[in-house]
Structure 1
């Protein structure tokens, strides 16, 4: 039976909110506003050795943070998210990193990434998602692809559904056994993965997401390398990052929740309509 989201004003309002959150200015754009100049200039000023180390550090941080973040939360779907508490944790982490200087940023990265991952999982839980479900873990990782494109991305590869497509393409390179499971079980394929298969899936996904998250982390390093950086600025940048990914997670999981009720195609279509109407107005 076909159910139209427009027949449920509350859900349609939620979709509009999600579009507003997911199509807001990028994280790199917000960082540029924060430091008062294009972030690209600060990125180019980074030592080449730093840029080379970022992707490996980001990949390791994503791997370690996702299990720690989900394990530390009670699995209680619909429980309200602790938005301010996670911002406070992130700000404290950034303040410590800022106080001890640029050399501590790689040490601070796993901590701040875990805090942000935990805040994303907290939002997922508040939208009714089961934290023990492998698909929820996958979606929490995907949120970190939303911060901004990598330098290798095409300029058109932006926006919520484009980023969803970006991460889905990564799965096409999985082994034959995972492809067969996906073909047999469709959207619920991840529920049928054995631990080894699940780990293989996550490794591919994290590697793909790291190319985008790594770009935003490089931008973060560049912003914190500005000479006037201190504890206060480090705290502010971490709070900015956490705020962005909390908003992104909220929009992301609203859309996923609505897709489960109304179907992927209808929500994607209505999402595009709302987005285009907002641009015109």
Structure 2
């Protein structure tokens, strides 16, 4: 691919190569599909997602952010270690696996949901690593490991605050020079919020198994789509010799066109 339109315009805005519009449009559609999952899930569970967290015991809410940070760091190690033993799976298999796990976790209420949560986070991270590999990146590369963690900064399908879905693309998380622990510290608060909503959904009386299956289905589908967006944009930037921020800016415009 040639970068015949690279450079800046008269205002200093970075330009991107011509001919990448179809790729950007395809990624924008993935982004839209991921967001649609969230609205479908909220409608299924009923009411606003934020109100779900009120169902959790205060002690669980207070410890959720720290627990999420530990889960992310442990999941990174476990997911990376598993790559030498278990090959990457197709997206449908990952979704089916976590859906079954969510049903099992929700069936027993809060205790089993809490036990299932770190396992689900590990599978989600492993799934994101698989998407990175699919786009030609090495999940063992420290920068790609941090990029995999940063995908979680897009929060999740239950998060609806404005701009949250583009959070992982913004300058708020700068991977260059950051440590894995630093990325985890930035991602954990955002992820803890939506994981709390997931936990609360799984504690709904009589509906815990169904809610657990539904939330895990949505989470896995969502993060797979967002991982394809993140690493698809990285691949476009590398193949075209264009800066990643410039490609992200063009992608943002593509999202607005279909919004």
TM range (shorter): 0.7 to 0.9
Task: For residue 26 of structure 1, report the CA deviation from its aligned partner.
Answer: 7.1
Q: Tell whether the 8 Å contact from 1:149 to 1:212 is kept in structure 2 after alignment.
A: no
Pick aligned residue for 2:24 from 11, 15, 29: 15
Q: Tell whether the 8 Å contact from 2:39 to 2:157 is kept in structure 1 after alignment.
A: no
Which structure has more helix as a fraction of its residues?
A: 1
Q: Tell whether the 8 Å contact from 1:81 to 1:126 is kept in structure 2 after alignment.
A: no
Match of 2:170 in 1: 164
Task: For residue 13 of structure 1, report the CA deviation from its aligned partner.
Answer: 1.8
Q: Tell whether the 8 Å contact from 2:201 to 2:212 is kept in structure 1 after alignment.
A: no
Q: Tell whether the 8 Å contact from 1:26 to 1:147 is kept in structure 2 after alignment.
A: no
Match of 1:206 in 2: 184
What's the TM-score once normalised by structure 1's chain length? 0.76
- Taking the aligned partners of 1:12 and 1:71, their CA distance within structure 2 comes to 37
Task: For residue 207 of structure 1, report the CA deviation from its aligned partner.
Answer: 1.0
Using a 3 Å threshold, how does the CA distance of structure 1 residues 59 and 83 change in structure 2: closer, same or farther? same
Task: Write out per-residue CA displacement over residues 191-218 of structure 1, whole angstroms, 9 at most, x where no aligned residue.
Answer: xxxxxxxxxx111110110011111101
Cα RMSD for the two superposed structures: 2.9
- Taking the aligned partners of 1:2 and 1:238, their CA distance within structure 2 comes to 40
Match of 1:269 in 2: 249
Match of 1:90 in 2: 98
- Taking the aligned partners of 2:110 and 2:248, their CA distance within structure 1 comes to 42
- Taking the aligned partners of 2:102 and 2:165, their CA distance within structure 1 comes to 28
Paired residues for 1:27-66 under 5 Å: 29-66=39-76
Using a 3 Å threshold, how does the CA distance of structure 1 residues 35 and 74 change in structure 2: closer, same or farther? same
Using a 3 Å threshold, how does the CA distance of structure 1 residues 163 and 216 change in structure 2: closer, same or farther? farther
Question: What secondary structure, in the 3-state scheme, does the structure 1 residue paired with 2:43 have?
Answer: helix
Q: Tell whether the 8 Å contact from 1:80 to 1:126 is kept in structure 2 after alignment.
A: no
The aligned length equals 244
Task: Write out per-residue CA displacement over residues 148-176 of structure 1, whole angstroms, 9 at most, x where no aligned residue.
Answer: 5999xxx65534266532222xx7xxxxx
Q: Tell whether the 8 Å contact from 1:149 to 1:157 is kept in structure 2 after alignment.
A: no
Pick aligned residue for 1:131 from 111, 134, 139: 139
- Taking the aligned partners of 1:146 and 1:81, their CA distance within structure 2 comes to 23
- Taking the aligned partners of 1:52 and 1:232, their CA distance within structure 2 comes to 26
Q: Tell whether the 8 Å contact from 1:127 to 1:254 is kept in structure 2 after alignment.
A: yes
Q: Tell whether the 8 Å contact from 1:28 to 1:216 is kept in structure 2 after alignment.
A: no
What's the TM-score once normalised by structure 2's chain length? 0.82
Within the alignment, does 1:146 sit opposite 2:154 as a pair?
Answer: yes
Task: For residue 12 of structure 1, report the CA deviation from its aligned partner.
Answer: 2.8
Tell me, which stretches of 5 or more residues in structure 2 are unaligned? 6-15
Using a 3 Å threshold, how does the CA distance of structure 1 residues 232 and 239 change in structure 2: closer, same or farther? same
- Taking the aligned partners of 1:17 and 1:274, their CA distance within structure 2 comes to 9
Question: What secondary structure, in the 3-state scheme, does the structure 2 residue paired with 1:166 have?
Answer: coil
- More displaced 10-residue stretch of structure 1: 44-53 or 123-132: 44-53
Q: Tell whether the 8 Å contact from 1:63 to 1:206 is kept in structure 2 after alignment.
A: yes
Pick aligned residue for 2:114 from 106, 130, 142: 106
Match of 1:278 in 2: 258
Within the alignment, does 1:215 sit opposite 2:212 as a pair?
Answer: no
Using a 3 Å threshold, how does the CA distance of structure 1 residues 47 and 31 change in structure 2: closer, same or farther? farther
Task: Write out per-residue CA displacement over residues 194-246 of structure 1, whole angstroms, 9 at most, x where no aligned residue.
Answer: xxxxxxx1111101100111111011012112213233432222121111111
